[in-house]
Amino acid sequence: MKINADFTKRALVRPGDVDWIPSPMAGVERKMLDRIGEEVARATSIVRYAPKSYFEEHTHGGGEEFFVLEGIFSDQHGDYPAGTYVRNPIGSKHRPHSEDGCTIFVKLHQFDEADTEQKAIDTTNADFRPGVVPGLSVLPLHTHGTESCALVRWQPGTRFNTHRHWGGEEILVLEGTFQDEHGDYPKGSWLRSPHGSEHTPFSEEGCLIYVKTGHLADIKEANSIYGS
């Protein structure tokens, strides 16, 4: 299976563009954003757990990164409420479930073998740092090699400089509406821009985005352009 599998091209999925697809486990559904492979795949998805649903214990052969969007996601290691960012490195395993239901943004089989840090961050109680332009604030989540991941908050009317994506950029809009010269991206939109692409982002109403940079090309140097 291949979905948005050409990483040299821009990819965009807005709310309502794709349907929920049942997973092999009852009560667990997915919206597939990009994917290369079948059930075991390099994948980026929105996953929804119905109340009292679960997934069988499994090992993360290529690592797992997720952000809890709604509800409480749980496994044998703990409970992760909305706003929690989690990284489970290659070789880790768990049995996920949700007592009351939840929705998560998850990326699978995308870890560098040397990236072994396991972490869980409650972003709702973390301190954001000032960004490189007025109205922008940043919460760094993870950095390894050229890859950098952060939450970025845009106050209403914030505009950023025109910039080029060295190593690409991936965005999930968590709140508000993110914008650039190519269009408007409301809450729930997912945008992937390839290595070498360029844009001038802004937000008239303000927004909060998950952003990952530097992970889509083999380059020598890439840093988060937002100041993380």
> pLDDT (tens digit, 9 = 90+) per residue, 101-140?
999 999 999 999 999 999 999 999 999 999 999 999 999 9
In the chain, the amino acid numbered 1 is M
pLDDT tens digits, 29-39 = 999 999 998 88
pLDDT confidence of residue 223: 45
Dihedral sign computed on CA atoms, order 209, 27, 32, 35 = positive
For residue 125, the SS3 value is: helix
pLDDT confidence of residue 163: 93
- Percent of the chain exceeding pLDDT 70 equals 95
pLDDT confidence of residue 227: 55
Q: Cα(88)–Cα(78) distance, rounded to whole angstroms?
A: 13
To which residue do tokens 């927004």 refer?
207
Q: Cα(27)–Cα(186) distance, rounded to whole angstroms?
A: 27
Provide CATH code, domain 19-122.
2.60.120.10
pLDDT confidence of residue 58: 83
Domain borders along the chain are 19-122, 127-213
Q: Is the pLDDT of residue 225 over 80?
A: no
State the average pLDDT for the chain: 92
Contacts of 222 (CB under 8 A, 6+ apart): 146, 147, 148, 166, 167, 213, 214
Q: Is the pLDDT of residue 222 over 80?
A: no
Across the range 64-91, mean pLDDT stands at: 95
Q: How far is CA 44 from CA 3, 6, 144, 161, 192, in A?
A: 10, 13, 19, 28, 11
Considering 1-5, 143-147, 161-165, 185-189, the range whose residues carry the highest mean pLDDT is 185-189
CA 215-216-218 angle, 5° bins: 85
Same fold, 19-122 and 127-213: yes
- pTM reported for the whole predicted model: 0.94
pLDDT confidence of residue 218: 64
Q: Which of 130, 131, 225, 121 is nearest to 171 (CA)?
A: 225
Fold of the domain spanning 127-213: Jelly Rolls (2.60.120)
**Do the strands 84-88 and 183-186 form a parallel or antiparallel pair, or are they unpaired?**
unpaired
